[in-house]
Amino acid sequence: MKLPLSKYVWFDGKYVPTEKAQVPITTHAIHYGTSIFEGIRAYWNGKNLHVFRLDEHVKRFRRSGQFYDISLNFSDKVISDAITGICRKNKIKKSCYIRPFYFVGDYGINLHVTKKAPTNVAIFTFLFGDLFNKNGISAGVVSWRKFSDKSTPTQAKMGGNYLNSIIATQEAKRNGVDEAILLDHNGNVSEAPGENIFIVKDGQLLTPSLSSSALEGITRDAVIKIATDLDIDVVERKIKRSELVVSDEIFLTGTAAEITPIISMDSKKIGNGKPGIITKKMMQEYTNIVMNKNNNYSHWLTSVY
At 216 the three-state DSSP class reads: coil
The catalytically annotated residue of 20, 47, 146, 157 is 157
User: Both ends of the chain: CA-CA distance in Å?
Assistant: 30
What CA–CA distance (Å, rounded) separates 275 from 295?
26
C-beta neighbour count of 14 within 10 angstroms:
11
Query: Do residues 24 and 106 lie in contact, with contact meaning Cβ atoms separated by under 8 Å?
Result: yes
Query: Do residues 254 and 130 lie in contact, with contact meaning Cβ atoms separated by under 8 Å?
Result: no
Q: How far is CA 84 from CA 55, 96, 175, 252, in A?
A: 12, 12, 40, 27
The closest alpha carbon to 218, from 190, 199, 194, belongs to 194
Q: What stretch of H or E contains 9?
A: strand 8-11
Query: Do residues 153 and 30 lie in contact, with contact meaning Cβ atoms separated by under 8 Å?
Result: no
Q: HEC profile for 196-212? A: EEEEEECCEEEEECHHH
Residue 108's Cβ-side half-sphere holds a number of Cα atoms within 13 Å equal to 5
Query: Do residues 34 and 162 lie in contact, with contact meaning Cβ atoms separated by under 8 Å?
Result: no
- 238 catalytic? Reply is no
Return the active site residues: 157
